[in-house]
């Protein structure tokens, strides 16, 4: 039973490029959450999705960031026109009920 999968594990982008982060939830989980961890900080909630629906995006920056969880395929977190401040570890979690299980994360570095 595979856990939460995230790819790529490491992503390097230059300022102004786009970053796409993918997350495949655990089998049987229909809830997906994205969190961001900046250096020396805890994880901060970004967005909560169910299939084809954004349930809570209160933690998403107003511009450049978007997320989707299509009927088929992984959840995608998309960052347009990346800036150096976007450099962070981005974690996806999935759940069936209360416990959220995390993927290994994608470490985004913006040059």
Partner 1 sequence: DQQVKQNSPSLSVQEGRISILNCDYTNSMFDYFLWYKKYPAEGPTFLISISSIKDKNEDGRFTVFLNKSAKHLSLHIVPSQPGDSAVYFCAASAGPGSSNTGKLIFGQGTTLQVKP
Cβ distance to partner 1 smaller for residue 86 or 103: 103
**Contact between 77 and partner 1 (CB under 8 A)?**
no
Compute the distance between CA of residue 107 and CA of residue 111 in angstroms, rounded to an integer.
13
**Contact between 78 and partner 1 (CB under 8 A)?**
no
**Contact between 28 and partner 1 (CB under 8 A)?**
no
Cβ distance to partner 1 smaller for residue 72 or 99: 99
Place of tokens 């809570």: 56
Peptide bond into 29 cis (omega under 30): no
Q: Restricting to residues 89-108, which ones interact with partner 1 according to CB under 8 A?
A: 91, 93, 95, 98-105, 107
With H, G, I as helix, E, B as strand and everything else as coil, classify residue 86.
Answer: helix
Q: Choose, by CB under 8 A, the member of 20, 22, 31, 64 that binds partner 1.
A: 31
Tokens standing for residue 58: 């209160």
C-alpha distances in Å from residue 29, one per residue of 22, 45, 71: 16, 18, 13
List interacting residues with partner 1 (CB under 8 A): 4, 6, 31, 33, 35, 41-45, 48, 55-56, 58-59, 91, 93, 95, 98-105, 107
């Amino acid at each position: 039973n595979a856990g939460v999968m995230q790819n790529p594990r490491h992503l390097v982008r230059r300022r102004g490029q786009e970053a796409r982060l993918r997350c495949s939830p655990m089998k049987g989980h229909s809830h997906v959450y994205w969190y961001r961890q900046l250096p020396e900080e805890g994880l901060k909630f970004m967005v909560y999705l169910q299939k084809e629906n954004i349930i809570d995006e209160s933690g998403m920056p107003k511009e450049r960031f978007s997320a989707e969880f299509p009927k088929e395929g992984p959840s995608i977190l998309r960052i347009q026109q990346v800036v150096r401040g976007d450099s962070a570890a981005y974690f996806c979690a999935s759940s069936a009920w209360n416990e959220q299980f995390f993927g290994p994360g994608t470490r985004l570095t913006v040059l």
